Amino acid sequence: MASICYDPKLLANATILFLVLVSSIVVSCTGLVAALDSALLASEGKALLDSGWWSSYDNLTISHRCTWPGIVCNHAGSVIEISPSSEFHKVRDKFGKMNFSCFSNLVRLDLANHELNGTIPPQISTLPKLRYLNLSKNCLTGELPSSLGNLSRLVELDVSVNNFFNSIPPKLGNLKNLEILDMSHNKLNGPISQTLGSLAKLRYLNLHFNQINGSIPLELGSLTNLENLDIGVNDLVGSIPSTFSLLSNLIFLDLSHNRISGSISLEIGNLTHLEYLDLDSNNLIGSIPSMLSLLTNLNFLDLSNNQLNESIPSEIGNLTNLDSLNLFFNNIVSLIPSELGNLTNLEFLDLSYNQISGSIPSEIGNLTRLEVLYLYSNNLIGLIPSTLGLLTNLNSLDLSSNQFNGSIPSEIGNLNNLSTLYLSFNILVGLIPSEIENLTNLESLDLGSNNLVGLIPSELGVLKNLMFLDLNNNKITGSIPSEIRNLKNLYMLYLNFNYITSSIPSAFGNLRELRNLDLSSNNISGSIPTMLGTLTNLRYLNLSYNQINGSIPSELYKLAFLLSVNFSYNNLSGSVPFDLPPPFDTHLTCDSLHEQRVNSLEIFQATSFEGNKNLYPNFSNCSPLKTKRDSHSIKTKTKRHIHSIKIYLPITMSICLLFLGCYSLYRCKVKTTQVKATSLKNGDLFSIWNYDGKIAYEDIIAATEDFDLKYCIGSGGYGSVYKAQLPSEKVVALKKLHHREAEQPAFDKSFKNEVKLLTQIRHMSIVKLYGFCLHQRCMFLVYEYMERGSLFCALRNDAEAVELSWMKRVSIIKDIAHALSYLHHDCNPPIVHRDISSSNVLLNSELKSFVADFGVARLLDPDSSNNTVLVGTYGYIAPGKKISS
Ligand SMILES: *[C@@H]1O[C@H](CO)[C@@H](O)[C@H](O)[C@H]1NC(C)=O
Ligand SMILES: *[C@@H]1O[C@H](CO)[C@@H](O)[C@H](O)[C@H]1NC(C)=O
Ligand SMILES: *[C@@H]1O[C@H](CO)[C@@H](O)[C@H](O)[C@H]1NC(C)=O
Ligand SMILES: *[C@@H]1O[C@H](CO)[C@@H](O)[C@H](O)[C@H]1NC(C)=O
Ligand SMILES: *[C@@H]1O[C@H](CO)[C@@H](O)[C@H](O)[C@H]1NC(C)=O
Ligand SMILES: *[C@@H]1O[C@H](CO)[C@@H](O)[C@H](O)[C@H]1NC(C)=O
Ligand SMILES: *[C@@H]1O[C@H](CO)[C@@H](O)[C@H](O)[C@H]1NC(C)=O
Ligand SMILES: *[C@@H]1O[C@H](CO)[C@@H](O)[C@H](O)[C@H]1NC(C)=O
Ligand SMILES: *[C@@H]1O[C@H](CO)[C@@H](O)[C@H](O)[C@H]1NC(C)=O
């Protein structure tokens, strides 16, 4: 539809006008130009009017249209800039109506962030004076037209965050004036065109997050003015070209998440301006070159997730501007050089998942700015140095899975900013230091699988923020201190495999947040306190292998969320207050029974009660118990249960919404750092509630091949959504926080918020959370999967919008209203979602709707002052509120 811009009729009119004007004057050259100019202006005016973008501004006089929003003219009244703001919705609806070829003086065209769809109109390539073209953050698709290469004056070209596919047109190499080229976040494939190497003025080249393959062309080395080169998250192979040493102005280099092999070339030492170097998640081998130490401006260095071996060069101590150093998941052997202590600006240090040996040098205490220190899964030995106590800014310390011996230094008490402390899987001895009481910000404490002795210190009771406490598999004796009652935020408590005596304190009744409680394999006696029946959030309870007597209190029956119990091998007596399903029955005789508790997915195993001489399970309502056990029938049973569970759909992402486009629907923003399945052990705030108590973390890693992109179904506000089929054939949706985002308190907070709220509420029209993993390395939530995605997307898809008849829409609204009424009136304290929008309403296969995304929701304390902070999504915020920027 390449329409002619110079409408012959208009041109004729202009000529007539011109002839009338000049009839008495000598025809001059300037006069002719004036005539052509007025023809141009007329056609510009017509194009603006016909586009309909400014339909409420109908005064077409030249002086007026130059004041329309987003239009700038030159002194002659010709349009040189079109950049309507993104609130200008008419651009989206009438994109195709604009005849771009009419603006022969146009210098700047900015249509970023307008939800534009379709392909790039060919007339854009005919704008002879265009210097700036920004089409980013739209839903544009198709190939990038080769004709863009005709825009020879172009200085900045931004087509990022769209759905462009196929390869980069080689003709872009003609844009000799180009300084900024951004094609990131598309679906471009094919190789990087060598012709890009002729863009001699280029300062900024971004191809991040595409599917570009092949090797990196040597020609890129000609871009000597380049300051920023980002070709991360693609499918590039081959080695880092030696010509990169010519890029002497480079400040930012990201080659991460490709399949780049070979070693890190020595030439990297020539890039002395480099401040940011990210080579993570490639196949790099060999050593970390000491030449790196020449990059003294470096403040970010990430070589994680490669196969680098040998040692950490002591020269790394010269990189004194470094604030982040990540060598996670390589094959590094040898010691931690003491020179590391010279990196006094370091805030993040991750050496975990290597084979680093020796002990931690005491110089580590010089890194006083350190906030995160991960050394887990190495072969470190010796004492935990007391100088760690100098790192008072530390908020995450993970030394687990090493061979540290000796006792926990009391200096640990100085780290009062610590929120996670993992020392599990070492051979630590001695007592748990009472100084731990200083760590009042602690949320996760894992000292499991060591040789710790003595009592559980009553000082633990002051750690009011503790959510996760794991002391399992030690040699802890004595009783559980009653101070435990103060841990009101505790989610999980693992004290199993110790020598704990006396009885279960009734103080447990105060732990209202408790989800998982494992006291198994101790010497606990006495009876089960009825107070346990007040733990309304309890999912998983294991009291097996103790000497507990008396009966199981019927109060436990009232725990609606309980999924798994184990009372086996105690001295319990009486009857079991749970309705047990017949373990091997394939009839439906028990369905009505299960219906009552179907929401809690309970499958209590008979084995959960065995080893108690006088305990009588109650199968009375069901068909007789068969004793034969075979895997087939168990499987059938499991399937039946899955079937009887209502399918709750839960991709709670603001998938289409946050960038106002659909571009990210099927894509993830970043590949995630690989985590070996074993990297999350007991020491992580990890819990997934399933029929058998837990879905193994390993199952999730296996099902998603370590969160491989191919399982990613969306990306949004924070994190990406993956689809995973578990061994049980159950399909779940995983909402995973990106690695970098996990380090940002705001994201971290909304993630935890969602966990907190969703595990407390239950409603037919609210998405149901099956579990979560809260570990700095890997944070995700688990929901059941739903095919139909968000209401927002469904309404934008023509076919789906038709399917959503008015009756269906009414019932969706009804469901949402019920859910909100439940949140506001039936929950105590009331919950306000604070971000109800069509993208936070999800649809299941039957088009039933569910409220999702509780990231900014709040518990409303009726006595507190009203909250004046505005949160939510523009366009959905209740009217009458003042929107400040
Ligand atoms: C357009 O603006 C001009 C100049 O201000 C004015 O003379 C004219 O009346 C306006 N026409 C319309 C239709 O508003
Ligand atoms: C293009 O527009 C987006 C959105 O407004 C902006 O973030 C980006 O910086 C612009 N690109 C250039 C090269 O100016
Ligand atoms: C683009 O979106 C409009 C609605 O804004 C729709 O009518 C049109 O069909 C879409 N075009 C394409 C090519 O998807
Ligand atoms: C790179 O640095 C080496 C020495 O480290 C030097 O011999 C070589 O000439 C440099 N190359 C360029 C292109 O600057
Ligand atoms: C770099 O480190 C090495 C060893 O730590 C040292 O000998 C050398 O002087 C340092 N170089 C610079 C330029 O600081
Ligand atoms: C670097 O560390 C080493 C060993 O810890 C030390 O001897 C040296 O003085 C440090 N260099 C600087 C410049 O601080
Ligand atoms: C660094 O640590 C060492 C050993 O702990 C200590 O002797 C030295 O004084 C520290 N240097 C600085 C600058 O703090
Ligand atoms: C506990 O913290 C205080 C300051 O918050 C500090 O003075 C004290 O030394 C710490 N105690 C221990 C044992 O570390
Ligand atoms: C609650 O908000 C109103 C305005 O909406 C304000 O006048 C009032 O002072 C607020 N109350 C408190 C306790 O902050």
How far apart are the C-alpha atoms of 136 and 663, rounded to whole Å? 10
Q: Give the gyration radius of the chain's Cα atoms.
A: 32
Protein residue with least CA distance to atom 3, ligand 1: 61
Q: Which atom of ligand 6 is nearest to the CA of 317?
A: 1
Name which residue leads in pLDDT, 253 or 738.
253
Centroid of chain to Cα 552: 42
CA 40 vs CA 102, 103, 123, 425: distances in Å = 7, 8, 16, 77
How far apart are the C-alpha atoms of 345 and 321, rounded to whole Å? 6
Name which residue leads in pLDDT, 635 or 433.
433
Distance 342 CA to ligand 6 centre (A): 6
CB of 350 within 6 A of ligand 8: the answer is no
Tokens standing for 289? 């070159």
pLDDT for residue 545 is more than 90: yes
pLDDT in tens, 754-763: 776 776 676 7
**Spatial CA neighbour of 745 closest among 711, 713, 779:** 779
How far apart are the C-alpha atoms of 336 and 320, rounded to whole Å? 16
User: Which contiguous run of DSSP H or E holds residue 33?
Assistant: helix 29-51
pLDDT in tens, 817-831: 888 888 777 766 677
Specify whether the CB–CB gap between 480 and 501 falls below 8 A. Answer: no
Helix axes 8-22, 29-51, angle to 10 degrees: 140
The per-residue pLDDT of the chain, averaged, comes to: 78
A 10 A CB-CB count for 628 gives 6
Cα-flanking dihedrals φ and ψ of residue 356, to 5°? -65, 135
Q: Cα-Cα-Cα-Cα dihedral of 820, 821, 826, 832, to 10°?
A: 40
CB of 92 within 6 A of ligand 3: the answer is yes
Binding site annotation covers 735?
yes
Q: Please name the residue that has the structure tokens 């080579």.
A: 279
**Spatial CA neighbour of 818 closest among 870, 762, 779, 866:** 762
Which candidate in 110, 158, 835, 853 is catalytic? 835
Q: Which ligand has the nearest atom to the CA of 60?
A: 1
CB of 114 within 6 A of ligand 3: the answer is no
CA angle 577, 479, 688 (to 5 degrees): 50
Lowest mean pLDDT among 462-466, 514-518, 660-664: 660-664
Please name the amino acid found at residue 173: G
Q: Which residues pair with 157 in a beta bridge?
A: 133, 181
Specify whether the CB–CB gap between 337 and 359 falls below 8 A. Answer: no
pLDDT in tens, 443-455: 889 999 999 999 9
How far apart are the C-alpha atoms of 725 and 403, rounded to whole Å? 36
3-class secondary structure, 778: strand
Instruction: Give the pLDDT band of residue 747 (cuts 50, 70, 90).
Output: low
CA 115 vs CA 90, 94, 532, 715: distances in Å = 11, 11, 54, 17
**Average pLDDT, integer, range 389-404:** 93
Tokens standing for 455? 């009592």
Specify whether the CB–CB gap between 575 and 599 falls below 8 A. Answer: no
How far apart are the C-alpha atoms of 519 and 75, rounded to whole Å? 81
Distance 58 CA to ligand 1 centre (A): 9
**Average pLDDT, integer, range 217-235:** 94
How far apart are the C-alpha atoms of 548 and 622, rounded to whole Å? 29
Q: Is the peptide bond before 385 cis (omega within 30 degrees of 0)?
A: no
Distance 332 CA to ligand 4 centre (A): 27
A 10 A CB-CB count for 827 gives 16
pLDDT for residue 683 is more than 70: no
Instruction: Give the pLDDT band of residue 349 (cuts 50, 70, 90).
Output: very high
pLDDT for residue 265 is more than 90: no
- Pairing, β 540-542 against β 132-134: unpaired
pTM of the model as a whole? 0.74
CA 247 vs CA 170, 224, 225, 284: distances in Å = 22, 5, 7, 20
User: 624: which DSSP letter?
Assistant: P
Greatest CA span in the chain, whole angstroms? Answer: 121
CA 492 vs CA 468, 470, 522: distances in Å = 5, 8, 17
How far apart are the C-alpha atoms of 118 and 98, rounded to whole Å? 14
CA distance from start to end of the chain: 41
**Average pLDDT, integer, range 771-779:** 66
Handedness of CA 518, 521, 522, 528 (dihedral sign): positive
Q: What pLDDT score was predicted for residue 28?
A: 38
Q: Please name the residue that has the structure tokens 């009291």.
A: 543
Specify whether the CB–CB gap between 800 and 787 falls below 8 A. Answer: no
Lining residues, ligand 7, CB within 6 Å:
341, 362-363, 365-366, 387
pLDDT for residue 348 is more than 70: yes
Specify whether the CB–CB gap between 124 and 149 falls below 8 A. Answer: no
Lowest mean pLDDT among 276-285, 357-366, 695-704: 695-704
3-class secondary structure, 463: coil
Tokens standing for 546? 């103790």
Q: Which ligand has the nearest atom to the CA of 313?
A: 5
Q: Which ligand has the nearest atom to the CA of 319?
A: 5
**Spatial CA neighbour of 149 closest among 173, 183, 119, 120:** 173
How far apart are the C-alpha atoms of 545 and 198, rounded to whole Å? 73
pLDDT for residue 258 is more than 70: yes
CA angle 453, 454, 456 (to 5 degrees): 110
Name which residue leads in pLDDT, 404 or 794.
404
Distance 761 CA to ligand 9 centre (A): 29
Pocket test for ligand 7, best of 320, 363, 370 (most atoms within 8 A of CB): 363
Protein residue with least CA distance to atom 10, ligand 4: 270
Distance 418 CA to ligand 7 centre (A): 22
848 Rama sector, left if φ>0, alpha if ψ -120 to 50, beta otherwise: beta
How far apart are the C-alpha atoms of 412 and 406, rounded to whole Å? 14
Q: What pLDDT score was predicted for residue 684?
A: 40
Protein residue with least CA distance to atom 6, ligand 8: 414
Protein residue with least CA distance to atom 12, ligand 8: 413
Protein residue with least CA distance to atom 5, ligand 3: 93
User: 484: which DSSP letter?
Assistant: G
Q: Which strands form 769-775's sheet, in the order they lie side by side?
A: 685-688, 769-775, 778-784, 731-736, 720-725, 712-715
3-class secondary structure, 357: coil
Instruction: Give the pLDDT band of residue 203 (cuts 50, 70, 90).
Output: very high
Pocket test for ligand 8, best of 436, 438, 440, 442 (most atoms within 8 A of CB): 438
DSSP states of 647-700: ------S-TTTTTTSSTTTT--SSPPPP--GGGS-TTSEEEE--TTS---HHHH
CB of 246 within 6 A of ligand 4: the answer is yes
pLDDT cut 70: percent of the chain above it = 74
Specify whether the CB–CB gap between 253 and 231 falls below 8 A. Answer: no
pLDDT in tens, 296-326: 999 999 998 899 988 899 999 999 999 999 9
pLDDT for residue 642 is more than 60: no
Protein residue with least CA distance to atom 7, ligand 9: 866
**Average pLDDT, integer, range 209-238:** 93
Active site residue 518: no
CA angle 576, 582, 584 (to 5 degrees): 140
Helix, strand, coil percentages for the chain (3-state, nearest 5): 25, 20, 55
Alpha helices in 90-219 (DSSP H): 90-93
Q: Which ligand has the nearest atom to the CA of 108?
A: 2
A 10 A CB-CB count for 865 gives 6
pLDDT for residue 795 is more than 90: no
3-state secondary structure 136-149: CCCCCEEECCHHHH
